[in-house]
Structure 1
Amino acid sequence: MIGPVAQIPAGNGTSLDLYLLRFGKDGRLESPQTAELAVAAARAATDVFVFSHGWNNVYGDALRNYTRFAEGFIAQRAEFQLQVPADYRPVLIGIVWPSTWFVMDSENGPDIAGGDGKASGEIEAMTAEVTDGWDTGTRGQLLDLVDGVELLTEAQARDVAALLLGNWSEDEDGQSTRPDIDNVIDAWKEIDGVETAAGDDEDEIGVIGGGQSDAAVNAAGGFSLDPRGILRMASVWKMKDRAGDVGKLGVGPLLSRIAKPGVRLHLIGHSFGARVMLSAVAHSPVFDSNPVHSLLLLQPAVNRWCFAQDVAQLGRAAGYAKVPDRVVRPIIATRSTFDQPLHEVFHHALRGDNFGEINAAAVGDTDRYGALGGYPPQGIRFADQEAKAPGTRYDLGGGERVISANGSRVIDGKPMIDGHSDVNSPVTWWALHNLSGA
């Protein structure tokens, strides 16, 4: 539909317009008429809240999650009697980008944590997505290697890795280098050996470990590997790149049209949606003179070096190094040891990447490859604070440009952030209240 998709009750007989804007696989805006209305409304507002989901959300998921977040945020404001300016005029904008890989059995997102009975279907679906845009001949070579195959020999695995690396897209900052075949094989072995816990986390980040028996790993004259492991890795690479493109080519230009004195922009991104927002700010020079007011990163699926001026002492700045200076308030990035995908798996799958993720031979190196949603930031002065329960304020005045909010503390038997998808809660609404001041 054209125009706002929902009106969120805001108390006293008022409501807030929620606009949903679609962006394509190439990162470009696909809702031009609604975008025009949203931009006009935003430029007349005092506060604009822009949300971006993570992996495996379809339109309906995004609408439900954004609506729930807004309703919880508004209810919490009333509960704690938080004051807003007399002229407070907020507008809500939700980003919808193609983050769903494939659907099996339901529309709730794929179970890609391994398991029996779905192997051929998973391979077919993931291959179709991974090879989207490849030429027919190269795609055929990959299909010849993986179709109907449960385990690949070392030679076959190296051929698959070579094909995938040959189609590895250049990162948006042009500074990083691709991993080599040995890097990929080492990571693939690690991922196939990572035992994963089933649960809601699969729906958001795509749990990519599966675990194999020693007999399988040691078969075929050395080792063998499940082809789903490399396809899962490739899907993570591709989704990561897509999130960056959506931010750089779509959301950034949109936000640049909204940014002006008197409009407070509040950006909220979850998982790969954090990359959408970071890329948007990093590639929009308008924010040097009209900075974003606040940036909340919920379990961000980005490398922990992403803000560094000198990435791992390699003499180059990370691609998001400019972002903290383009935000008025300190950035809050939540993290949790209970986020299994980001705390246990991310550093195996993503090793060469845009911005802060370094290409090196180490496997499972959380210092270099750890996710910001699983570990504190590196290469930047930051404030390490526990995630705050509603009613307890964050300290925003310490001078640090980034606050790493640790949600691992257990209260009454439940962690403050219980997993990768546990980001729509009183804890996260409260963080946004602290940042937005509204």
Structure 2
Amino acid sequence: MADPGMSVTPYWELTFDADGDPDGAERDRLLREVTGHGVRDLIVFAHGWNNDRSGATALYRHFFAPIPELAPKARIGYVGVIWPSMRFCDEPIPDFPRPTAAVAAEPGATPVPALDKDTRHALLETFPGRATVVDQIARMLDQRPANELEHFGRLVRQLVEVVPGGPQPLFAADTLAEGVPQSEPVLFTGGTTALCEEFAHTLTALRQGAGAAEFALADPWDGAKELLRQATYYAMKRRGGTVGERGLGPVIGQLAGAAPAVRVHLVGHSFGGRLVSFALRGLPDGVHTVKSVTLLQGAFSHYAFAARLPQDGRTSGVLHGQENRIDGPLVCCYSHFDEALGTLYPLASRMADDSQSIAGTDAEGMLDVGRLLGVKWGAMGHDGVQAVPDTQSLDLAGALRGPLAAAGCVNVDAAAVVKNGGPPAGAHSDIVHPELARVVLAAGRIA
């Protein structure tokens, strides 16, 4: 179907709620129309932290734009997945208009509330029914009351908690210890003051350059907003798994029944990478129409597909073996310029039983969170799939020369193009490049 605001056609959207329930009319339209459009290859893209439909569709419009010229003979259809995620509006995205909050945060600008209007709106939309909690959090961030950080932490945890008995708690873990999902991160169990101190020091280091900041005393309130940011992103990570397994996976199964000749190619950015990966776990038995999966700066554990973790042989990745559901490769694009995943992700992802602190552990007294915590708590989008035997490793030029492995996992160092963006996220959202569109086509053997 044509969309006047989209750069490609035919284009469909699939919208899911937080529990993975699809918009039935959109799903049925896709199932009904895809064959009539003569589609052979269907690229299904799931966004990461975008706070509304317009932000997601802008990403799809830009990313899809070069594909028709890159594969002029291919019969390609496009799907944009819309799911209830969010991002903080002070995070600039390379090549997109700068958000008002980011401009207001520059030195010399007129002081603004710690939570800008758009971010507050995004929180209210993402966590409905929590308006009072959001108001209290915003007020505390502005006032910074003495000796109240622990109360602030309780409010943050209250904001992102899910309804008991609902499906989302089942999708939070990236690893399993003897078959049991690992405990919650220290983000939800540790002392708020200590966590905010660590975030404050880390943010200072990111702003001054990697490894350039000494670990010195700082106002813990400087890290309080980052605690809120990481808590909401943990909720998005949990939600992405839910939507993938309970929502997108079953829809792909229905598509296989309605249009069995259509080859499906899943693409996910950030938590959208977790979403499309969990969709593999939600595929009905006997469905073999997924021909490739491409992860762009995937925001989940680099051990998610591992049979055993190097540091703990009793622990496996929650998606171990799911790459075998793909009739083709799982391609993971990563970049060391992604500061969100290289530094803040491992800091926030430590489990409740991990007591390692970042304070004073660097031999030179310098702060390098990624080096200290990244091996154990690192993310796909920072260093690729880990501990999966026979994983192919390529730089971007090598991936574009090809061929990619026909099956299994493929790591692609995309730092040659994924390199722009300031703190705190770095290059996390710098994914709109024709080279990455070419990787998607190569992964799916689309020509």
TM over 0.5: yes
Closer/same/farther in 2, CA of residues 164 and 152 from structure 1, 3 Å limit? same
Give matches, 1:20-419, under 5 Å.
20-30=13-23, 32-42=24-34, 45-78=39-72, 84=74, 89-101=75-87, 108=99, 111=102, 117-122=111-116, 125=120, 129=124, 132=127, 139=133, 146=140, 148-150=142-144, 152-153=146-147, 156-162=148-154, 164-165=156-157, 168-169=161-162, 170-172=169-171, 175-180=181-186, 181-182=189-190, 186-194=194-202, 195=204, 214=216, 216-217=218-219, 226-260=223-257, 261-286=260-285, 288-311=286-309, 312-352=311-351, 360-363=354-357, 364=369, 365-381=373-389, 382-388=391-397, 392-397=401-406, 401-409=408-416, 415=417, 417-418=419-420, 419=427
Closer/same/farther in 2, CA of residues 92 and 69 from structure 1, 3 Å limit? same
CA-atom RMSD in angstroms: 3.8
What secondary structure, in the 3-state scheme, does the structure 2 residue paired with 1:178 have? coil
Structure 1 distance, partners of 2:439, 2:299, is: 18
Structure 1 distance, partners of 2:296, 2:134, is: 39
Q: Which deviates the most, 174-183 or 343-352? A: 174-183
Q: Which residue identity does 1:146 align to in structure 2? A: M
User: 1:7 offset after TM fit, Å?
Assistant: 9.2
User: 1:18 offset after TM fit, Å?
Assistant: 0.4
Q: Establish whether residue 19 from structure 1 lines up as the match of residue 18 from structure 2.
A: no
Closer/same/farther in 2, CA of residues 393 and 244 from structure 1, 3 Å limit? same
Q: Which residue identity does 2:198 align to in structure 1? A: E
Closer/same/farther in 2, CA of residues 146 and 309 from structure 1, 3 Å limit? same
User: 1:362 offset after TM fit, Å?
Assistant: 2.9
* Structure 1, unpaired ranges of 5+: 10-14, 199-210, 218-222, 353-357, 410-414
Closer/same/farther in 2, CA of residues 75 and 417 from structure 1, 3 Å limit? farther
Partner of 1:5: 3
User: 1:417 offset after TM fit, Å?
Assistant: 4.8
Q: Which residue identity does 1:33 align to in structure 2? A: A
Identity of aligned residues (%): 20
What secondary structure, in the 3-state scheme, does the structure 1 residue paired with 2:307 have? coil
Structure 1 distance, partners of 2:415, 2:98, is: 30
User: 1:197 offset after TM fit, Å?
Assistant: 5.9
User: 1:175 offset after TM fit, Å?
Assistant: 1.2
> How many pairs are equivalent?
389
User: 1:73 offset after TM fit, Å?
Assistant: 1.4
Query: What is the TM-score of this pair, normalised by structure 2?
Result: 0.74
* Structure 2, unpaired ranges of 5+: 92-96, 163-168, 174-179, 208-212, 358-368, 421-426
1:19/1:94 contact within 8 Å kept: yes
Closer/same/farther in 2, CA of residues 197 and 37 from structure 1, 3 Å limit? same
What secondary structure, in the 3-state scheme, does the structure 2 residue paired with 1:268 have? strand
Q: Which residue identity does 1:428 align to in structure 2? A: L
